[in-house]
Amino acid sequence: MYTDKFVKLAWVLTFLGFLIALSLSYAFLPIQVGIQADANGNPDQLVDRETFFYLALGAFVFVNVICLISFRILNALPASSTLFYRSELFKDRIRDWFAAFTTVINIFLICTVSYISLFNNQGDYQIGQFNWVMWVGPLLFVGVVVWLAIILVSPKPISTEA
């Protein structure tokens, strides 16, 4: 199925994208990284650059390992079991959805790391120009939830077996 290949490719690209975004962010971050700002936009909560790097990497690895284990469990469940799946097509759609959900989480983590990096780098720009970056993850999340709702309410396909 093309959706399966597309979603897996998207997951691989977001996996690599996160590693690139984190590496570039780490290279240009100051020694103390601001992770929270006051009302004036000045950092008021700081962590070491190494702490930020390892926390971001740890969160990314943790989320992806949990999603990979869950994906393998979903894949191992037989489609003939009416306890969870309704058909082989439904199983394929749920697996594709779960891989897309993992991809959306990765995109959100990429946006978060990139935004924190932009917030901490001094440049000729205003950080407010990049506030839209923090809306990418939630909007994609809403899209994935709508996709799941469509999958769950779609009628059971008619069997062509005699």
pLDDT of residue 162: 42
pLDDT of residue 157: 57
Q: What are the structure tokens assigned to 24, written together?
A: 């570039």
Mean pLDDT by 10 residues, the chain (162 residues): 75 92 89 77 79 93 92 80 72 84 91 85 67 82 91 68 46
Distance CA 79, CA 63 (A): 26
- What number of residues does the chain have? 162
Name all contacts of 57-60 with Cβ < 8 Å and 24+ positions apart: 57/22, 59/109, 60/18, 60/22, 60/106, 60/109
